[in-house]
Amino acid sequence: MKAALQNYHARMQRVLDYIDRHLGDDLDLDALSGVAAFSKFHFHRQFTATFGLSVHRYIQLARMKRASHRLAYRDAQSVTEIAMDAGYDAPDAFARAFRQRFGQSPSSFRKSPDWEPWLAAFEPLDNARSKLMQKSFTTDDVTIRNVPTTPVAIIEHRGDPAMLGATIKRFIAWRMAAGLHPKTHPTFNVWRSERRPASPADYSVDLCVGTDQPIAADGEQIKAGEIPGGRCAVLRVTGNTDNLEPAALYLYRDWLPLSGEEARDFPIYCQRLSFFPEVPEHEAVAELFLPLK
């Protein structure tokens, strides 16, 4: 029974991965049911029963999520190009759908995103994806690595995590203006608080880019700092890298007590190796580092 369920879920996961890779294509029911190797007469009901969303609604949300990421964080594409990639024949239709969902026009969102409606709009999509993407980890997934000290430039986010998107937008704009591209300068997040502190005002994370160059702040509140070298337990996560809490929980709850190791006096952090929307969401990769004595 368990093997049959795993096979069923694997077939559904293939569909999600296929959708991720082909958001700009015509995703019809015949093609998707073929990817899953399910009958097209039953597939749409099977999909809805598994994920709590219809196939059409899931694709709509996935396309809109990619479009909104590009609007907020990637200036190279025009609104018209983003609309076409999201499956809309005309920018006006995209603008109407975008405003209905987020309460902002695409141009307004690009300039100054309102993140609270954005988070609420994609909760059904995130819930659907999490039904199959909850990865279980084993000790074989963890490696102990000696890492070098890395000088970094830091933009701090302090306060409500719902506003983190605005800080990320500033961080990306600053690093690109400074010539610190992700392909040549590593990206780190250092968590200085728990993911959901009792008060949202206590949430704290550092957004970092590796560089030993002199820092030109250009009006931003940029700090110079470093990620200290030393031994770290490293756990690679592929897929939902927006939420690394399950991986962190595994390290603290399961791996650390059994390992005989002790945590060092520096926060847990991650290095982001590939990013959505440059890669499909299920191909995004991050490595989580737990500093050890």
Q: pLDDT digits over 138-152, tens only?
A: 999 999 999 999 999
In the chain, alpha helices (H)? 2-21, 29-36, 43-51, 55-73, 79-85, 91-102, 106-111, 115-121, 123-133, 164-177, 245-249, 256-259
- Residue 217 has a pLDDT of 66
- Residue 21 has a pLDDT of 92
Question: pLDDT averaged over consecutive 10-residue blocks of the chain (293 residues)?
Answer: 84 93 91 92 92 94 94 89 89 92 93 89 89 80 97 95 91 92 96 87 95 78 94 94 91 95 97 92 94 97
Going along the chain from its start, the domains and CATH numbers come out as 2-130 (1.10.10.60), 139-291 (3.20.80.10)
DSSP 12: H
- Residue 131 has a pLDDT of 78
- Residue 133 has a pLDDT of 62
